[in-house]
Structure 1
Amino acid sequence: MMDSQENILEKGNQEVKVEETAVETTENNASPAEERKVYTTKKEVLDRVKEIAHGEEAPQKEEVEYLKTAFYKLHIAEREAQLKEYIDGGGDPEAYQITPDEDEEVFKAEMGVIKERRQQIFREQEAEKEENLKKKQAIIEKIKAMVTSPEEASKTYQEFKALQQEWREIKAVPAESANELWRNYQLYVEQFYDLLKLNSEARELDFKKNLEAKTRLCEAAEKLADETDVISAFHQLQQLHQEYREIGPVSKELREEIWQRFKAASTVINKRHQQHFEDLRAREEDNLVKKTALCEKVEAINGEENKGSGDWERHTQEIIAIQAEWKTIGFAPQKMNVKIFERFRAACDDFFARKAEYFKTLKDSFKENADKKRALIEKAKALQDSTEWRSTSDKLIALQKEWKTIGVVPKKLGDQLWEEFLGACNKFFEARNAAGAGQRNEEHENLEKKRDVIERLKAVAEEAGEGLQEKVQKLVEEYNAIGHVPFKEKDKIYEEYHAVLDKLYKELNVSVAKKRLNKFKDNLKQVAERGEGALDNERQRLMRQYDNLKQEIHTYENNLGFLTASSKKGNSLIEEMNRKIQKLKDDMQLVKEKIKAIDAENNA
Structure 2
Amino acid sequence: MMNSQENTPKEGMLDDEMQKTTSSAEVENKKETPAEPKTYKSKAEILERLKEIVGNEENPTKEELDNLKTTFYKIHITERDTKQKAYLEAGGDPEKYVMVPDEDEEIFKAQMSVIKERRAKLFLEQESEKQNNLQKKIDIIERIKAMATSPDEANKSYQEFKELQMKWKDIRIVPADKANELWRNYQLYVEQYYDLLNLNREAREYDFKKNLETKRHLCDAAEKLAEEQDVISAFHQLQELHQQYRETGPVTKELREETWNRFKTASTVINKKHQKHFEDLRAKEDENLEKKTKLCEQLEEIVKAENNGEGDWDKHTKEIIGLQAEWKKIGFAPQKMNVKIFERFRASCDEFFGNKAEHFKEIKQHFNENAEKKQKLIEEAESLNDSTDWKATTDKFIALQKDWKTIGPVPKKLGDELWAKFLSACNKFFEARNAANAGTRNEEHSNLSKKKEIISELKTLAEEASDNVQDKVQKLVEEYNNIGHVPYKDKDKLYKEYHDILDKLYKDLHISIAKKRIDNFRNNLKNVARNGEDAIDNERGRLMRRYESLKQEIITYENNLGFLSVSSKKGNSLIDEMNHKVQKLKDDVELIKQKIKAIDAENFNR
For the pair 1:422 / 2:423, whether they are aligned, the reply is: yes
Cα 1:154/1:486, change in 2 over 3 Å: same
Q: How many Å separate the matches in 1 of 2:40 and 2:527?
A: 131
**2:34 alignment partner in structure 1:** 30
Q: How many Å separate the matches in 1 of 2:430 and 2:62?
A: 80
Q: How many Å separate the matches in 2 of 1:553 and 1:101?
A: 85
For each residue in 1:276-300, what CA deviation from the matched residue of structure 2 results, as whole angstroms up to 9, or x when unmatched? 1111222222222222322333333
Superposed counterparts of 1:184-263, under 5 Å: 184-263=185-264
The Cα shift of 1:192 comes to: 0.9
Q: How many Å separate the matches in 1 of 2:562 and 2:166?
A: 123
**2:344 alignment partner in structure 1:** 343
The Cα shift of 1:83 comes to: 5.8
* Amino acid of the structure 1 residue aligned with 2:13: K
Superposed counterparts of 1:135-154, under 5 Å: 135-154=136-155
For each residue in 1:484-535, what CA deviation from the matched residue of structure 2 results, as whole angstroms up to 9, or x when unmatched? 2222332333333333433443444344434433333334444333345554
For the pair 1:7 / 2:9, whether they are aligned, the reply is: yes
Q: How many Å separate the matches in 1 of 2:241 and 2:539?
A: 147
What is the SS of the residue equivalent to 1:153?
helix
Q: How many Å separate the matches in 2 of 1:174 and 1:572?
A: 106
Q: How many Å separate the matches in 2 of 1:493 and 1:561?
A: 26
For the pair 1:505 / 2:506, whether they are aligned, the reply is: yes
What is the SS of the residue equivalent to 1:154?
helix
Moved more, 300-309 or 435-444: 300-309
**1:290 alignment partner in structure 2:** 291
Aligned 8 A contact 1:6 1:187 in 2:
no
What is the SS of the residue equivalent to 2:23?
helix
Superposed counterparts of 1:92-171, under 5 Å: 92=92, 94=94, 96-171=97-172
Structure 1: stretches of 5+ with no match in the other structure: none
CA RMSD of aligned residues (A): 3.1
**1:318 alignment partner in structure 2:** 319
Aligned 8 A contact 2:295 2:323 in 1:
yes
Cα 1:572/1:280, change in 2 over 3 Å: closer
Q: How many Å separate the matches in 1 of 2:293 and 2:251?
A: 57
Superposed counterparts of 1:570-585, under 5 Å: 570-585=571-586
Q: How many Å separate the matches in 2 of 1:477 and 1:129?
A: 126
Moved more, 478-487 or 549-558: 549-558
The Cα shift of 1:438 comes to: 1.3
Superposed counterparts of 1:203-602, under 5 Å: 203-458=204-459, 462-465=464-467, 468-531=469-532, 533-563=534-564, 565-602=566-603
What is the SS of the residue equivalent to 2:307?
coil
Aligned 8 A contact 2:444 2:486 in 1:
yes
Cα 1:138/1:385, change in 2 over 3 Å: same
The Cα shift of 1:382 comes to: 1.6
* Amino acid of the structure 1 residue aligned with 2:115: I
Aligned 8 A contact 1:59 1:117 in 2:
no
Aligned 8 A contact 2:299 2:348 in 1:
yes
For each residue in 1:351-397, what CA deviation from the matched residue of structure 2 results, as whole angstroms up to 9, or x when unmatched? 33433444444344433333332232222122111111111112212
Moved more, 320-329 or 555-564: 555-564
Moved more, 392-401 or 205-214: 205-214
* Amino acid of the structure 2 residue aligned with 1:266: S
Cα 1:28/1:342, change in 2 over 3 Å: farther
Moved more, 442-451 or 259-268: 442-451
Aligned 8 A contact 2:26 2:177 in 1:
no
For each residue in 1:397-423, what CA deviation from the matched residue of structure 2 results, as whole angstroms up to 9, or x when unmatched? 222122222222222222122112111
Q: How many Å separate the matches in 2 of 1:357 and 1:376?
A: 29
* Amino acid of the structure 2 residue aligned with 1:190: E
For each residue in 1:330-369, what CA deviation from the matched residue of structure 2 results, as whole angstroms up to 9, or x when unmatched? 2222223333333333333333343344444434443333
Cα 1:9/1:133, change in 2 over 3 Å: farther
Cα 1:27/1:311, change in 2 over 3 Å: farther
Moved more, 76-85 or 172-181: 76-85
Q: How many Å separate the matches in 2 of 1:359 and 1:259?
A: 74
Cα 1:535/1:407, change in 2 over 3 Å: closer
Cα 1:538/1:67, change in 2 over 3 Å: closer
Q: How many Å separate the matches in 2 of 1:273 and 1:419?
A: 75
The Cα shift of 1:153 comes to: 1.6
The Cα shift of 1:471 comes to: 4.0
> What percent identity do the matched residue pairs reach?
65
What is the SS of the residue equivalent to 1:397?
helix
What is the SS of the residue equivalent to 1:181?
helix
Q: How many Å separate the matches in 1 of 2:55 and 2:495?
A: 102
Cα 1:3/1:21, change in 2 over 3 Å: farther
Q: How many Å separate the matches in 2 of 1:411 and 1:78?
A: 28
For each residue in 1:300-343, what CA deviation from the matched residue of structure 2 results, as whole angstroms up to 9, or x when unmatched? 32222333333333333222222222222222222233333333
For the pair 1:66 / 2:67, whether they are aligned, the reply is: yes
The Cα shift of 1:540 comes to: 4.3
Q: How many Å separate the matches in 2 of 1:192 and 1:232?
A: 37
Aligned 8 A contact 1:16 1:179 in 2:
no
Q: How many Å separate the matches in 2 of 1:80 and 1:374?
A: 35
Moved more, 360-369 or 117-126: 360-369
Highest relative contact order (Cα 8 Å, sep 6+), 1 or 2? 2
Structure 2: stretches of 5+ with no match in the other structure: none
Moved more, 311-320 or 179-188: 311-320
Q: How many Å separate the matches in 2 of 1:371 and 1:566?
A: 32
What is the SS of the residue equivalent to 1:354?
helix
Q: How many Å separate the matches in 2 of 1:264 and 1:531?
A: 153
Superposed counterparts of 1:44-83, under 5 Å: 44-53=45-54, 55-76=56-77, 78-79=79-80
* Amino acid of the structure 2 residue aligned with 1:109: A
Cα 1:480/1:80, change in 2 over 3 Å: closer
The Cα shift of 1:230 comes to: 1.7
Aligned length: 599
Aligned 8 A contact 2:208 2:251 in 1:
yes
Cα 1:254/1:379, change in 2 over 3 Å: same
